[in-house]
Amino acid sequence: MPIVNRVADFHGDITAWRHDIHAHPELLYDVNRTAGIVADKLRSFGCDEVVTGIGRTGVVGVIHGNRAGEGGRVIGLRADMDALPIQEANDIPYKSTVPGKMHACGHDGHTAMLLGAARYLAETRNFNGTAVVIFQPAEEGGAGGKAMVQDGLMERFRVEEVYGMHNYPGLPVGQFALRAGPLMAAADRITIDIEGRGGHAARPHVSIDTVLVGAQIINAIQSIVSRNVDPLEAAVVSICVFQAGTTDNVIPQTAQLRGTARSLTPKVRDLLEARLQQVITGTAQLYGATAKLTYRRDYPITRNHERQAAFAASVAAQVAGRERVDDQVAPVMGAEDFSFMLEARPGAFIFVGNGASAGLHHPAYDFNDETIPFGTSYWVKLVESAMPA
């Protein structure tokens, strides 16, 4: 089955919702305006229950099907609401009105598509069970998914399976991609505090130069992936912040490096942490300095459950055609806090094509409104196929 006709009728409304959210981006848990709009719309659609404040600022809507009272299943559908601290470079009518903030990852589109699905499902109720629509804050580094799970999301709403979706730049509009098993990487945070001996830049021989030590540490840790990780495995170590010194004639006493480590298996994750500790400590000692590694395990691996991934692929095929669904897509090293929900309940995460747009987290990125009918129809067909009336 292609695009749901009634969803196609909603396209203009969903696009307008998306543009309004895009113009008013909010960060992390501070999504009060967006969450308020979501809650108001869910109530106006006639959802049976609308709950706010789950995971601080998350919103949950409950929609019972036409036979929900007869012991039907409960399926959760999740969208994220938060934006990024990026200055938008687009010149569009709905450009961000908030300096230094923009929807550079498409969460505006995700929220709008799930709202469209909620409208349809509340109107038709052509399923036997309960659909729980989940609007999550703080995906961009704040672990809002974890906060909602810890706040009792799954137990309170009796969610049995949970599904998520993310747009994918470079994948043509109207196509879907996913895989069973690891789809996205674990993302861990690295902080390295270096202590040397400060002094005059003209007398480096009586100092211990933390800038030099930091540079050597950055070089040395790149050998971990190339020489310690099995070439058939995947890993990334990136140092993205180097802070040291305040003027051009003083060797700084301290320096700090910050970055990320990414992996697709628990074994490689453990290896990265252990080798980073050894290489960082040893490199600093070579130059007479000390270095302390703080390794914070952040988002876990986004791992699709096999049965649910196969089901999600079959639903996407109903919408787009089997030839437009890649169910063996290569894993990506980006991370997702939907991983916390997949640890709590079986489910699957799927990519939907965003066409030839700028990449995620780029100041020229924009969600493609032509994606809306495909993503919204996927949500609708997932519920109706999982819980047929």
As a whole number of angstroms, the distance between CA 294 and CA 259 comes to 11
Neighbours of 284 (CB within 10 A): 25
SS3 state of residue 298: strand
DSSP assignment letter at 233: S
Number of Cβ atoms within 10 Å of the Cβ of 278: 12
Neighbours of 314 (CB within 10 A): 15
* Residue 389 near residue 72 (C-beta atoms within 8 A): no
**Residues 133-170 as b or e (16 or more Cβ within 10 Å = b):** bbbbbbbbbbbbbbbbbebebbeebebbbbbbbbbbbe
Please tell me which residue in 80, 139, 140, 366 is annotated as part of the active site.
139
Q: Phi/psi of residue 341, each to 5°? A: -70, -35
Residue 114, SS3 per DSSP: helix
At 108, which amino acid appears? D
Q: How far is CA 265 from CA 102, 183, 214, 250, in A?
A: 32, 11, 28, 43
Let me know: does 202 contact 214? Beta carbons within 8 Å: no
Please pick, among 26, 80, 82, 108, the residue that the annotation labels catalytic: 82
Q: Is 139 a catalytic residue?
A: yes
- The DSSP symbol for 172 reads P
Q: Which amino acid is at 115?
A: L
What is residue 156's DSSP assignment? H
User: Which residue intervals of the chain are DSSP H helices?
Assistant: 5-23, 32-45, 107-124, 144-150, 153-156, 210-227, 266-286, 306-320, 338-344, 372-386
How far CA 134 is from CA of 43, 98, 321, in Å, comes to 14, 25, 27
Grouping H, G, I as helix, E, B as strand and the rest as coil, residue 377 is helix
Q: Name the E strands within 275-354.
A: 290-299, 302-304, 325-326, 347-353
- φ, ψ of residue 243 to 5 degrees: the values are -115, 120
Please list the active-site residues.
Answer: 82, 139
